[in-house]
């Protein structure tokens, strides 16, 4: 006998609490295989295809594209080992009566005990694994009996909700069929479930106004107002000499802010939800400003010799393209600055650390995992170059290019976006000279690099036009004092002005 199994959004790791549905990969009624991706979601870290651990026929989908889905909320239901009939149940499954028996006289418990167990998925995401999926069925409340006559169809208001009329209970609160309790409740938000539970509302007896009958918070609030209005009418005495005017029905949310007739329309402010990458960055930057006592120091440096060294490396590679030793990708300025950063962190390891306030300890990291700020259409991301201290300029150039392309296409994995120990921020690409960046929590420092532009500069006692760049260091004052931060920044500037300084530590 087929079983209808509910697949919920699994924990996708890295402490993520939800995801946004980007694109459904299956339709209701479509046959899916075990571990087949059924939905593409966008987390705060990356785009992820979520595979379903069950094989069968999709009987329901929960949530529209663009909707936020918390971890643990249902995504789809799948009829395993058989197709589903018109009302979403597996083919051949009998309706249950109030006492738990089926139409053919058998008990629901007996058929449940004899139902075959489905095999587990081999594709593991955090939150569900390869174990057998338990058969899940909706409980029928004891003592509930099928109605003797079909309920009258509920009248609908303009916004899709059922209206209370004729002195009876609201139609949205009446059950439509006897078997409705067996079907999944179309609710995604835990807040809606809690609000209904606190006020004694049965969500299975409500008609939602959202997409595909989804029950929204506004539906629950409307039902509560309608129920309260009906209760007040029942308590009004019939012998009252001056009857009270019935309370005015609350306006629908879509009509709450409608302008008065003839009044000029006032434009409303646009509200943009903080979700996805932008929402995570907002939380992270707010936490950084709240927890980290940061300070910033900066200076100007003559980058003329660094640019000449970069050009010499490029010409050398172009002249010997077939040489496996000297040929290779063009060295980027960002890669040279990253190589300078790793050399400076070797001299000043205090800045390659983080603070554990629970243990009241400064954690000094043995490896340099270098993050770099990358602006994308989806927002600001900070990919991480693992073990940057072990890479040369060519390796850093190739890794920067790979991670930048992955950030642009939205294919960065959570592992490539976490675990950084120091960040390099090249805001000069935006055409600005200086900035006081916010530290990428829980790191302890960030080096900012402005644009490299020709400026008047005193060189060897004479005024000359040189390629000048402004460098800034924002650091956590808990891990070091100004002397350490100043020494680090001065060493970086010396390497920018005289790249040969790096030869001492190669």
With H, G, I as helix, E, B as strand and everything else as coil, classify residue 281.
Answer: helix
- Compute the chain's Rg from CA coordinates: 32
How far CA 450 is from CA of 67, 425, 427, 430, 472, in Å, comes to 39, 9, 6, 9, 8
Pairing status of strand 374-376 against strand 445-449: unpaired
Q: Count Cα neighbours of 253 within 13 Å in the Cβ-side half-sphere.
A: 10
- Distance, CA of 450 to CA of 468 (rounded, Å): 9
Q: Quote the CA–CA distance of 327 and 325 in Å, as a whole number.
A: 6
Three-class SS of residue 94? coil
Q: How far apart are CA 18 and CA 376, in angstroms?
A: 21
Residue 95 phi, psi dihedral angles, 5° rounding: -70, 145
Phi-psi group of 504: left, alpha or beta (phi > 0 → left; psi -120 to 50 → alpha; rest → beta): alpha
User: Does residue 442 have a cis peptide bond before it, meaning omega lies within 30 degrees of 0?
Assistant: yes
Contact 13, 414 (CB under 8 A): yes
Q: Verify whether residue 477 is a known catalytic residue.
A: yes
Q: By the 8 A CB rule, do 136 and 74 touch?
A: no
**What is the rounded distance in angstroms from the CA atom of residue 56 to the CA atom of residue 83?**
7
Q: Which of 503, 463, 496 is nearest to 305 (CA)?
A: 496
Q: How many whole angstroms from its chain centre is CA 84?
A: 33
Token couple for 278: 């932008």
One DSSP character per residue, 304-323 reads HHHHHHHHHHHHHHHH-TT-
Alpha-carbon distance 305 to 300, whole Å?
14
Q: What is the DSSP string of 135-179?
A: P--PPPPTT----SSPPPPPPB-TTS-B---TTSPPGGGS-S-GG
Q: Residues of 42-74 as b/e, b for ≥16 C-beta within 10 angstroms?
A: bbbbbbbebbbbbbbbbbbbbbeeebbbebebb
3-class secondary structure, 231: helix
Q: Which listed residue (242, 365, 369, 477) is catalytic?
A: 477
- Three-state DSSP class for 125? strand
If DSSP states are collapsed to H, E and C, what string results for 346-404?
HHCHHHCEEEECCCCEEEECCCCCEEECEEECCEEECCEECCHHHCCHHHHHHHHHHHH
Kindly list the catalytic residues.
477
């Amino acid at each position: 006998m087929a079983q209808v199994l509910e697949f919920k959004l699994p924990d996708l790791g890295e402490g993520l609490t939800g995801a946004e549905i980007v694109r459904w990969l299956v339709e209701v009624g479509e046959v899916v295989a075990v571990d087949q991706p059924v939905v593409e979601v966008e987390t705060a870290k990356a785009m992820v295809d979520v595979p379903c651990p069950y094989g069968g026929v999709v009987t329901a989908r929960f949530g529209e594209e663009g909707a936020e889905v918390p971890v643990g909320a249902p995504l789809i239901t799948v009829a395993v080992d058989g197709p589903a009939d018109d009302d979403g149940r597996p083919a051949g499954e009998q309706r249950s009566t109030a006492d738990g028996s089926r139409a053919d006289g058998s008990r629901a418990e007996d058929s449940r005990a004899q139902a075959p167990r489905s095999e587990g998925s081999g594709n593991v995401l955090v939150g569900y694994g390869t174990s057998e999926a338990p058969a899940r069925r909706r409980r029928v409340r004891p003592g509930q009996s099928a109605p003797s006559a079909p309920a009258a169809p509920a009248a609908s208001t303009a916004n899709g909700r059922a209206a209370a009329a004729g002195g009876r209970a609201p139609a949205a609160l009446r059950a439509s069929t006897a078997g409705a309790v067996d079907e999944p409740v179309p609710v995604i938000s835990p807040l809606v479930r809690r609000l209904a539970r606190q006020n004694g509302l049965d969500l299975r007896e409500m008609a939602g106004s959202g997409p595909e009958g989804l029950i929204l918070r506004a539906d629950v609030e409307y039902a509560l107002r309608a129920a309260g209005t009906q209760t007040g009418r029942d308590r009004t005495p019939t012998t009252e000499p001056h009857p009270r005017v019935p309370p005015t029905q609350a306006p629908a949310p879509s009509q709450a802010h409608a302008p008065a007739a003839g009044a000029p329309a006032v434009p409303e402010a646009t509200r943009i939800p903080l979700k996805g990458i932008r929402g995570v960055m907002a939380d992270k930057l707010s936490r950084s400003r709240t927890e980290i006592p940061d300070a910033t120091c900066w200076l100007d440096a003559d980058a003329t010799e660094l640019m000449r060294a970069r050009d010499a490396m490029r010409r050398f590679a172009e002249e010997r393209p077939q040489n496996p030793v000297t040929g290779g990708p063009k060295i980027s300025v960002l890669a040279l600055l990253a190589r300078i950063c790793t050399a400076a962190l070797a001299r000043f390891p205090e800045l390659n650390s983080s603070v554990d306030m629970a243990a009241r300890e400064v954690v000094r990291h043995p490896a340099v995992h270098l993050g770099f700020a990358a602006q994308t259409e989806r927002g600001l991301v900070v990919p991480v170059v693992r073990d940057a201290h072990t890479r040369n300029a060519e390796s850093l150039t190739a890794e920067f290019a790979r991670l930048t392309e992955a950030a642009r296409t939205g294919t960065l994995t959570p592992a490539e976006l976490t675990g950084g120990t120091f960040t390099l921020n090249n805001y000069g690409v935006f055409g600005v000279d200086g900035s006081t960046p916010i530290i990428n929590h829980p790191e302890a420092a960030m080096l900012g690099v402005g644009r490299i532009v020709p400026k008047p500069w005193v060189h060897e006692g004479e005024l000359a036009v040189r390629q000048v760049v402004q460098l800034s260091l924002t650091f956590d004052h808990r891990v070091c004092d100004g002397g350490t931060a100043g020494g680090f920044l001065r060493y970086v500037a010396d390497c920018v002005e005289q790249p040969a300084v790096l030869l001492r530590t190669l």
